[in-house]
Amino acid sequence: LMIHKCLFPVAGYGTRFLPATKSSPKEMLPVVNKPLIEYAVQEAVDAGLTRIGFVTGRGKRAIEDHFDKNYELEDQIRGTGKEDLIQPTRDLIDACEFSYTRQKEMKGLGHAILTGETLIGDEPFAVVLADDLCIADGDGVLMQMVKLFRQFRCSIVAVEEVPDDHIHQYGVVAGEPLKDGVYRITDMIEKPSKDEAPSNLGIIGRYILTPDIFDQLRETPPGKNGELQITDALKKQAQEGCVLAYRFKGRRFDCGSIDGFVDATNHCYDKFYKNGF
Ligand code: G1P
């Protein structure tokens, strides 16, 4: 039971980042000099997931172009120092197989994942939300989760402690501790109020899902905001079997918000770029 595939839902509009996202995908916003989506794909490849699926939408073609050769550009920079800047991207393109499908209507994250079924089929897979940028020393967050999956073979969500005044922005879990940083989920609620929240552990944009999630999603009615919520489908999976919450090691930046994006930029500048590209 190996994981090969990673699904990237990228159809969302990124309205929190207007006007930057008016005609360019939010996933192409650069943290220093690298688009968010490239950090995310790199994290998947580092975890051994090289079959990359995008659930895309209108106005997102820049993502496809980013993960393809640009012959004119290659011609321009051949033999110059600039080649070093693009080498990591070339390596990703060579390492991966990319496939794309379109989400025709925005009906929530659960709907986006269900749209991706055609790219995934009947095997376990990861889901990464690129606007949650995760930076870890040692194993990346997905690699940490893949290792956990090898042990438990069930769906896993990454969680972190979220302050009270932000909890309404997250899927929130309740669970019984299994071992260090790992909980067996007993309840989960999408975007609860402070009072409804069953804990302060919010789900961040890293999931490993077993393929029965697709049947669960098909049977799940619209939830919070009238959207099909992956949180609701996972809750059923947790009740009927087992779903784990994992407190990952590393830092996560909410790059869908201005504050998180600026923090990520400063962090990555110091960590990766300060001493020269
Ligand atoms: C989605 C999920 C939510 C999760 C969050 C993580 O919400 O629905 O459960 O906590 O991603 O970023 P969104 O931020 O897309 O509204």
Q: Which of 127, 132, 169 to mutate to test the pocket of ligand 1 (most atoms within 8 A of CB)?
A: 169
| Structure token pair of residue 70 | 């640009």
Give the N- to C-terminal CA distance of the chain in Å, as an integer. 39
Ligand 1 atom with the shortest distance to the CA of 129: 12
Q: Which of 203, 209, 217, 257 to mutate to test the pocket of ligand 1 (most atoms within 8 A of CB)?
A: 203
Query: Is any ligand 1 atom within 6 A of the Cβ of residue 130?
Result: no
The pTM of the full predicted model, rounded to 2 decimals, is 0.96
Q: Which residues contact 19 (CB under 8 A, 6 or more apart)?
A: none
**What is the per-residue burial (b if ≥16 Cβ within 10 Å, else e) of 216-229?**
bbeebeebeeebbb
Q: Which of 26, 55, 103, 109 to mutate to test the pocket of ligand 1 (most atoms within 8 A of CB)?
A: 109
Q: Report how far ligand 1's centroid is from the alpha carbon of 196 (Å).
A: 17
Give the pLDDT of residue 251: 97
Give the pLDDT of residue 139: 97
Query: Is any ligand 1 atom within 6 A of the Cβ of residue 117?
Result: no
Other beta carbons less than 10 A from residue 251's beta carbon: 16
Host H or E run for residue 204: strand 201-209
Give the pLDDT of residue 88: 93
Q: Report how far ligand 1's centroid is from the alpha carbon of 210 (Å).
A: 19
Tell me the residue length of the chain. 277
- Cβ–Cβ under 8 Å, residues 100 and 9: no
Distance CA 173, CA 120 (A): 26
Query: Is any ligand 1 atom within 6 A of the Cβ of residue 190?
Result: yes
Residue 132 C-alpha from the chain's centroid? 6
Please name every residue paired with 173 in a beta bridge, in sequence order, or none if there are none.
188, 201
Burial class (CB in 10 A: 0-12, 13-18, 19+), 168: middle
Give the pLDDT of residue 277: 54
Other beta carbons less than 10 A from residue 45's beta carbon: 18
Give the pLDDT of residue 22: 92
Query: Is any ligand 1 atom within 6 A of the Cβ of residue 112?
Result: no
- Cβ–Cβ under 8 Å, residues 175 and 247: no
Give the pLDDT of residue 148: 98
Q: Which of 17, 129, 200 to mutate to test the pocket of ligand 1 (most atoms within 8 A of CB)?
A: 129
**What is the per-residue burial (b if ≥16 Cβ within 10 Å, else e) of 8-33?**
bbbbbebeebeeebeebbbbbbebee
Give the pLDDT of residue 8: 98
Give the pLDDT of residue 54: 98
Query: Is any ligand 1 atom within 6 A of the Cβ of residue 203?
Result: yes
pLDDT in tens, the chain (277 residues): 789 999 999 999 889 999 999 999 999 999 999 999 999 999 999 999 999 999 999 989 999 999 998 999 989 999 998 998 999 999 999 999 999 999 999 999 999 999 999 999 999 999 999 999 999 999 999 999 999 999 999 999 999 999 999 999 999 999 999 999 999 999 999 999 999 999 999 999 999 999 999 999 999 999 999 999 999 999 999 999 999 999 999 999 999 999 999 999 999 999 998 876 5
Instruction: DSSP for 68-117, please give it.
Output: S--HHHHHHHTTSTTHHHHHHHHHHHHH-EEEEEE--S---HHHHHHHTH
Query: Is any ligand 1 atom within 6 A of the Cβ of residue 9?
Result: no
Ligand 1 atom with the shortest distance to the CA of 202: 10
- Cβ–Cβ under 8 Å, residues 201 and 142: no
